[in-house]
């Protein structure tokens, strides 16, 4: 769905008074970023008037990201890149308001989701400790309504429960915001978190190599491995999951590309993981490139072919 901006004419005497703009919520928005000028403008615009505070942890932007954050009134904290999980945890812990919304520099809150967030925070049900949102990839003027769907992500949380009962976890780069069992209810909010992760599929696939390297390195350190069977079966399995189980074909050629990129990411991850195992077996050191280099020009670098919170989907853009 395209949202066109419509300028509202000035009121006439017959129109009555203009409605008062809604006040910002007792809400902090936490963002991690690095040289994201092509997407962060939409991110900041989408929370304008919604949140009382924007906290941005920047890992060395060299473009106009910092001026854009300053113009939006964000509190900017410079930090070295700590990895996806630790950097997002740092941003979350820097928030000061009762509620915190964690979003990435290529994600934006659509109006229907903004309304749901406002309702949840205003109601402030003491039994609710967090809320999940559905993230959808936006590509060339439309949402992918089937590929990687639904992709529920916990993003809105009670700040006072962090880091004790709510914290970022997972395995880099597939981070997830985790809520301890028994902490309280987690709601699913109506609306969409827009994900501008794909500039074009050529650069998307290039970025997959970087994330596949990080993912394989993390899995290798955790003692997980690959084998010839996984190398043969995991990529077609990822493709068929998107095409058949998720009905990605209904997104047209975009869906075919999305399913193909999921298979490619899985293949690359299994190859790199198998290579790391082989180096260990032969007593050879790896190349040590587990941490990501500078990000691609827009969007998050590629879909998550492995498990995330509930379904595979494109991981959030970090630094």
Q: Which of 16-20, 30-34, 265-269, 303-307 has the lowest mean pLDDT?
A: 303-307
Assigned domain for 179 exists = yes
The CATH number covering residue 47 comes to 3.90.550.10
Q: Which DSSP symbol is given to 140? A: T
Other beta carbons within 10 angstroms of residue 232's beta carbon come to 12
DSSP string, 180-209: -TTS-EEEEEEEEEEE---S-HHHHHHHHH
313 has a pLDDT exceeding 70:
no
Residue 16: pLDDT band (50, 70, 90) is low
Give the pLDDT confidence score for residue 317 in this predicted structure. 42
pLDDT at 308 over 80: no
pLDDT surpasses 60 at 236:
yes
Cα 103 versus chain centre, distance: 6
What is the mean pLDDT of the segment spanning 131-136? 98
The band of 105, judged by pLDDT with boundaries at 50, 70 and 90, is very high
Residue 236 lies in a domain: no
Domain residues for 169? 25-195
Q: Say if residue 314's pLDDT is above 60.
A: no
- 163: cis peptide before it, omega within 30°? yes
Q: How many CB atoms lie within 10 A of CB 13?
A: 5
Question: Could you tell me if residue 222 is inside a domain?
Answer: no
Q: Is 182 exposed, middle or buried (0-12, 13-18, 19+ CB in 10 A)?
A: exposed
Residue 80 lies in a domain: yes
Burial readout 68-100 (b: 16 or more C-beta within 10 A, e: otherwise):
bbeebebebeebebbbbbebbbbbbebbebebb
- Rounded to two decimals, the pTM is 0.80
Domain presence at residue 218:
no
Predicted local distance difference test score (pLDDT) of residue 226 = 85
Q: What pLDDT shows up at residue 282?
A: 80
**Would you state the pLDDT for residue 21?**
61
Instruction: Tell whether 141 is covered by a domain.
Output: yes
Bridge partners of 29? 54, 101
Q: If you average pLDDT over every residue of the chain, what do you get?
A: 84
With H, G, I as helix, E, B as strand and everything else as coil, classify residue 69: helix
Banded pLDDT at 200 (limits 50, 70, 90): confident
102 belongs to a structural domain? yes
Helix residue ranges, H only, the chain: 37-46, 65-71, 84-93, 111-123, 201-221, 228-240, 253-281
Domain count, the chain: 1
HSE on the CB side for 268, CA within 13 Å? 21
Greatest alpha-carbon span in the chain? 83
With respect to residue 187, please indicate whether it lies within any of the assigned structural domains: yes
The string of pLDDT tens digits covering residues 29-85 is 999 999 999 999 999 999 999 999 999 999 999 999 999 999 999 999 999 999 999
Asked if 58 and 34 count as a contact pair (C-beta separation under 8 A), the reply is: yes
If one compares 199 and 236, the residue with the highest pLDDT of the two is 236
Query: In which band, very low, low, confident or very high, does the pLDDT at 205 lie, cut at 50, 70 and 90?
Result: confident
- Confidence at 188, pLDDT banded by 50, 70, 90: very high
- Residue pair 273/267 in contact (Cβ under 8 Å)? The answer is no
Six token digits for residue 70: 């300053």
The answer to which of 9-13, 41-45, 160-164 has the lowest mean pLDDT is: 9-13
Residue 299 predicted with pLDDT over 90: no
Residue keyed to tokens 């690959």: 226
pLDDT for the residue 91: 97
């Amino acid at each position: 769905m395209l949202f066109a901006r419509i300028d509202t004419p000035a009121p006439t005497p017959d129109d009555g008074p203009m409605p008062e703009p809604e006040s910002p919520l007792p809400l902090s928005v936490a963002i991690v970023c690095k040289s994201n000028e092509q997407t962060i403008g939409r991110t900041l615009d989408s929370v304008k008037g919604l949140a009382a505070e924007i906290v941005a942890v920047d890992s060395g932007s060299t473009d106009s990201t910092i001026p854009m954050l300053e113009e939006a009134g964000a509190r900017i904290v410079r930090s070295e890149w700590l990895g996806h999980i630790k950097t997002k945890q740092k941003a979350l812990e820097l928030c000061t308001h009762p509620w915190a919304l964690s979003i990435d520099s290529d994600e934006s809150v659509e109006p229907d989701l903004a309304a749901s967030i406002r309702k949840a925070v205003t109601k402030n049900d003491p039994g609710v400790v967090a809320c999940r949102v559905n993230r959808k990839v936006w590509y060339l003027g439309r949402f992918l309504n089937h590929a990687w769907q639904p992709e529920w992500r916990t993003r809105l949380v009670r700040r006072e429960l962090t880091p004790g009962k709510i914290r970022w976890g997972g395995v880099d780069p597939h981070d997830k915001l985790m809520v301890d069992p028994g902490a309280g209810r987690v709601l699913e909010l109506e609306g969409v978190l827009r994900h501008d992760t794909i500039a074009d599929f050529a650069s998307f696939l290039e970025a997959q190599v970087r994330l596949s390297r990080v993912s394989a390195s993390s899995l290798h350190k955790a003692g997980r491995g690959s084998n010839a069977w996984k190398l043969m079966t995991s990529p077609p399995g990822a493709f068929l999951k998107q095409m058949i189980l998720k009905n990605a074909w209904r997104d047209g050629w975009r869906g075919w590309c999305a399913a193909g990129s999921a298979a490619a990411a899985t293949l690359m991850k299994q190859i790199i993981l198998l290579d790391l195992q082989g180096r260990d077996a032969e007593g050879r050191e790896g190349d040590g490139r587990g941490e990501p280099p500078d990000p691609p020009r827009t969007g998050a670098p590629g879909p998550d072919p492995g498990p995330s919170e509930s379904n595979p989907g494109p991981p959030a853009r970090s630094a």
